[in-house]
Amino acid sequence: MFYSFIRSVLFQLDAETAHNVALHSIKRMPFLMAQSTVDDPVELLGIQFPNRVGLAAGLDKNADYFEELSGLGFGFVEVGTVTPKAQPGNDKPRMFRLPKHQAIINRLGFNNKGVEHLVKRIKARKKTAVIGINIGKNKTTPNENAVDDYLLGLTAVYELADYITVNISSPNTPDLRDLQFGESLRNLLSSLKEKQIDLIKSTNKVVPLLVKIAPDLDEDDVNEIAQILVDEKIDGVIATNTTISREEVVGAKFADEAGGLSGLPVQHKSNQVISLLRKALPENYPIIGVGGVMTAEDAVDKIKAGADLVQIYTGFIYNGPDLITQAANAIKKLFRQKK
């Protein structure tokens, strides 16, 4: 009820302004939405997660709010996407709500303050929450040099992260998604794996490396990606990012805006990719499912599709922190029934 009132006020503002106001409010008055974390510990990727429900990347790009966000009941928080250099992102307006479809379209374009800022913020943290860091390339870096940006990001954040996500699936950086396929993907991941091994030796710390992929993939695409992930010994996969499809929102206001569509309309596509990955990957290969988790039942469906952990973003915008607790409890119940 309380969050419904907050949402009604925020939804009077344009989407990006509301986004910023909400984060600043959580920072200044964390007690307004803080809640206890559901106790449902699970070990995955060598990490002990308090529960299986996390915050997806994109909400806290600069790690300015992750401590307050972790106090909302999340089992883990993923910050970023961060790039080596600060960049403003795409021109405004660049975020649009589609309330009837419980969706958001964004074309932010990796707007962030750069990796140095993010590193300073995480170094100053006071709480010990599980933190994933999502890394990307700068818009001005051509794909043939993309590996350089990812190596810079990986090296800069390595010792501060519990896991690191390689974002090659945002639709809002030109040609970025081309890195998901064939030799481009293999070469990128081979270089990152080599660097990860070097960093393990030099830091004596193992930080898992994951790749985040798009929902707009057919079965052959997914199978190819899965094989490369295994071949290059990448530690896990996050499925999925936002979609460029507009099938589910035809005729809606803002449906024709460019950008990635998140929320309920991406749910089915995301679950399909998760199911295909689960079939294509080794039995215990870690999958984090994200895309269209609007209810506790949606979170359970991600697990049933083959995910080990679940992330929320747009569902949190529409339904508030209660969704985090409800989803974590529903998943906890599911695993109790399996025992």
Catalytic residue among 70, 170, 262, 270: 170
Q: What is the 3-state secondary structure (H, E, C) of the chain?
A: CHHHHHHHHHCCCCHHHHHHHHHHHHHHCHHHCCCCCCCCCEEECCEEECCCEEECCCCCCCCCCHHHHHCCCCCEEEEEEECCCCECCCCCCCEEEEHHHCEEEECCCCCECCHHHHHHHHHCCCCCCCEEEEECCCCCCCHHHHHHHHHHHHHHHHHHCCEEEEECCCCCCCCHHHHHCHHHHHHHHHHHHHHHHHHHHHHCCCCCEEEEECCCCCHHHHHHHHHHHHHCCCCEEEECCCECCCHHHCCCCCCCCCCEEEEHHHHHHHHHHHHHHHHHCCCCCCEEEECCCCCHHHHHHHHHHCCCEEEECHHHHHHCCHHHHHHHHHHHHHHHHHC
C-alpha separations of 133 from 14, 73, 143, 158, 287 in Å = 27, 19, 21, 9, 16
Q: What whole-number distance in Å separates Cα of residue 202 and Cα of residue 13? A: 48
Residue 170 is a catalytic residue: yes
Instruction: Give the position of tokens 């974002």.
Output: 167
Residues marked active site are found at: 170
